Amino acid sequence: MLRILKRYDVIVAIFLFLIAVPAQHFEWFALLEDQTLSLRHQLRMAYGDQREQAFSKDIVLVNTDEAFFRAYKSFPLRRSDIGAIVTNLKDLGAKVIAIDMLMDFPSSYGEDPVLAKALTDAGNTLLVAQAQFDHDRFVQLNRPTDELDRASPSAYTNIKSNSSLVTTLSRLRVHPEVAAQPEGWPFAVKAAAMYLGVEPHMDGTTLWLGDLAVPLDHDWNINIDFPPLPSGTRFLSQSAGISALEFLDISGLDENEREELSYWVRDKLVVIGDTSEVSHDWFDTPVGMVYGVEIIADTIHSLLKGAPLRPASPELASAVVLVLLLLMVYPMVSSHPVRRGLTVLAIILGFAGLASLLYVRQGVVLPMSYGLFAVVLSYALIEYRFYMLERRQKKNIAKTFGQYIPSELVEEMNRTGQQVSVGGESREMTVLFSDVRGFTSISEGLSPQELTVLMNSFLSPMTRIIHQNRGTIDKYMGDAIMAFWGAPLHDADHARHGIQAALAMHQGMEELSAAFIAKGWKPLKIGIGLNTGTMNVGNMGSDFRLAYTVLGDAVNLGSRLESLTKQYGVNIMISEFTKAAVPDLVTRELDQVRVKGKETPVRIFEPIGFEGEVDAATLANLERYHAALALYRGQKWAEAEAAFTALAADEPNFLIHQVYLSRVHHFVEEPPGAEWDGVYTHKEK
């Protein structure tokens, strides 16, 4: 665990979650949070309790819309007519008349006295004021004109957007410092209090309207619970409103008409406002564009219902962020990219679902965007670290193995993501040793520059052949080459690939020798030994220098086989273990020997080619040779001598026949005995 805490991505991720706590408290990214609120409120209106959310029947809008002004034939509404509407609403039984029309300048028509008298006579009206702020510091209240201010109480209608970038109105803030002023309550708060017949007061983060407690958040905000609208309606005024034209003049109404009109407003809180397009009094909200008077009505509706949308406590909001941090521990430690991604997706969907469910069903407003933002950024950072680790690993692979194996294998390792190890492990592999015959005498006749050119001309094509057959160069030892198959990439056909490389090297040397002769150099011949077995492979060496190499008895045997090629007169020699790994390989069994330093005998072979590639004449000669070898091992010396003599006559340049003829002559004079196992012990490397 302590090691995880030292990772830079984990440290930054923890910081992101810790910074999310004050960020959501002080709403540093309110624009993003508003988007989540909008989505959650749409879900609330669609899947919440429709009866609980239905717009309050105690509130009605009396609005001046486009149809009103077409009939009125003037704009704006004259104050004398506002007074007439107020008087008529009072006569029809309206309990509170809240007028959302700012009148902070005297009437151009001198109508303020008429309106003031109507307000005074009604006695249940509320006018609009505005609170002036300078960088969130309260300055003063801009009230209606003095005459109107004396005639009716007023309250301010300021609603500020959470974001400084985009205006989205979703909350009403109750400023304690403004509430301390005379008539310093928000318009909706004052209207609701008048309707309830109480005086509002604050107690910490609770707004009291008589016995009705309205919870506020830590910044004294009330979340507006915008109600769902009936199907087919776009604005609240279409379903809970009536045109002000109906109340402009009711003198000609009979008793039934008057009673019918009274039904709309009797004992209700009436909000008068403008819903015409020319007024431009509309704002963006979580439910779309809404007229200002409708926002006021929705706010009053929320207050009278005790603010159904209640903010989560700061402690709960902080605890949720810390839980998200704990859930991110698994993506931090998992090395599986798909599991990391699925876990983070589950965290995001789970948290978003929980926050939405609480909002829709319980009305709990849990900050959502800040936690999600921390999750997404942390995940991006974690993935970036794993990407950099993978990139670094690929560079290390290229750096570590680029000098040993072909670039194609390096690309394959990076592409497939195959795990490679450089720290040392045991594997079954095939090792190859090659050496130039008589190199000392060849080099003595060359200048240093010519020797350098010759070595490059020899080593480059041989290395290319090894690489083409998926081999790894271990080292160059002067004129000798050591290579192996089966590491760093696992290779199930390592023995076959090694033999293919050896055969191609022998063929390449014949072509190369012709080129050397053309340059005036001596032709080169090489001996190649291969063995297959369990070897230790990895970066080995000292504190000063490491090399990616192989060690073990199987490696030593491969080196011994290369040395034995000279004694048997063959170009390539393999062990019985390599032959067993390639069943379709056509070989000549050379001997069964004990090499220097080993007690266990091993059979050695010369690879000829693969089945289907060797001609009939060669196969016939091999059959004659193996028959002669069987006679030798059966101690039938006369028959063996005759057989090898015939073979030597047909293949005079093949040293192996002379080797066995020499042994036959020796055993004729000194028979090995009945318990002889046919094994020949070599005293030299």
Asked if the peptide bond before residue 488 counts as cis, ω within 30 degrees of 0, the response is yes
How much is the pLDDT for 678? 87
**186: pLDDT strictly greater than 90:** yes
How much is the pLDDT for 653? 87
How much is the pLDDT for 398? 57
How much is the pLDDT for 546? 66
How much is the pLDDT for 133? 87
- Coil vs helix vs strand at 171: strand
How much is the pLDDT for 422? 52
The residue ranges of every structural domain in the chain are 55-311, 315-399, 421-614, 621-684
User: Would you state the structure tokens that stand for residue 112, as one six-digit string?
Assistant: 């303020």
Cβ-contact 358, 364 below 8 angstroms: yes
Pick the closest to residue 1 from 256, 326, 313 (CA basis): 326
- Coil vs helix vs strand at 654: coil
**279: pLDDT strictly greater than 90:** no
User: Would you state the structure tokens that stand for residue 90, as one six-digit string?
Assistant: 């009072």
Neighbouring C-beta atoms of residue 199, cutoff 10 Å: 12
Condensed to tens digits (0 to 9), the pLDDT of residues 211-266 reads 999 999 988 999 999 999 998 898 999 999 999 999 999 999 999 999 999 999 99
User: To which H or E segment does residue 597 belong?
Assistant: none
Give the mean pLDDT of 53-74.
94
Cβ-contact 286, 168 below 8 angstroms: yes
Condensed to tens digits (0 to 9), the pLDDT of residues 480-521 reads 999 999 988 889 999 999 999 999 999 999 888 888 888 878
Cβ-contact 478, 472 below 8 angstroms: no
Condensed to tens digits (0 to 9), the pLDDT of residues 462-481 reads 999 999 999 999 899 888 99
How much is the pLDDT for 425? 85
User: Would you state the structure tokens that stand for residue 390, as one six-digit string?
Assistant: 């993978």
Please, which pLDDT band fits residue 411 given cuts at 50, 70 and 90? low
How much is the pLDDT for 418? 53
Comparing 33 with 44, the larger pLDDT belongs to 44
Residues whose CB is less than 8 angstroms from the CB of residue 401 and which lie 6 or more positions away in sequence, other chains included: 409, 410, 413, 420, 472, 488, 548
How much is the pLDDT for 503? 96
**595: pLDDT strictly greater than 90:** no
Lowest mean pLDDT among 14-23, 49-58, 311-320, 422-431: 422-431
How much is the pLDDT for 599? 78
Gap between the Cα atoms of 194 and 149, Å rounded: 17
Per CATH, the homologous superfamily of domain 421-614 is Nucleotide cyclase, GGDEF domain (3.30.70.1230)
How much is the pLDDT for 487? 86
Comparing 134 with 421, the larger pLDDT belongs to 134
Condensed to tens digits (0 to 9), the pLDDT of residues 623-651 reads 999 999 999 999 999 999 999 999 999 98
Gap between the Cα atoms of 223 and 207, Å rounded: 13
How much is the pLDDT for 163? 60
How much is the pLDDT for 134? 84
Q: What DSSP line would sit under 425-438, residue for residue?
A: EEEEEEEEEEEETT
Rounded to two decimals, the pTM is: 0.63
How much is the pLDDT for 144? 96
Gap between the Cα atoms of 421 and 506, Å rounded: 32
**401: pLDDT strictly greater than 70:** no
Residues whose CB is less than 8 angstroms from the CB of residue 254 and which lie 6 or more positions away in sequence, other chains included: none
**107: pLDDT strictly greater than 70:** yes
Neighbouring C-beta atoms of residue 208, cutoff 10 Å: 15
Residues whose CB is less than 8 angstroms from the CB of residue 473 and which lie 6 or more positions away in sequence, other chains included: 403, 404, 405, 463, 466, 467, 481, 482, 483
Pick the closest to residue 191 from 321, 59, 305, 63 (CA basis): 59
Torsion of the alpha carbons at 441, 446, 448 and 453, rounded to the nearest 10: -100
Lowest mean pLDDT among 75-89, 178-192, 395-409, 496-510: 395-409
Q: What DSSP line would sit under 110-137, residue for residue?
A: S-HHHHHHHHHHH--EEEEEEEEEETTE
Condensed to tens digits (0 to 9), the pLDDT of residues 281-328 reads 888 888 889 999 999 999 999 999 999 999 999 999 999 999 999 999
How much is the pLDDT for 515? 84
Q: Which residues pair with 475 in a beta bridge?
A: 482
Q: What DSSP line would sit under 438-451, residue for residue?
A: THHHHHHTS-HHHH
Give the mean pLDDT of 45-66.
93
Amino acid at position 356, single letter: S
How much is the pLDDT for 91? 96
**416: pLDDT strictly greater than 80:** no
How much is the pLDDT for 516? 83
Cβ-contact 555, 598 below 8 angstroms: no
Q: Which residues pair with 172 in a beta bridge?
A: 222
How much is the pLDDT for 304? 96
Residues whose CB is less than 8 angstroms from the CB of residue 533 and which lie 6 or more positions away in sequence, other chains included: 428, 429, 552, 553, 554, 557, 575, 577
What number of helices (H) and strands (E) belong to the chain?
A: 25, 25
Give the mean pLDDT of 192-200.
97
**395: pLDDT strictly greater than 60:** yes
Neighbouring C-beta atoms of residue 7, cutoff 10 Å: 14
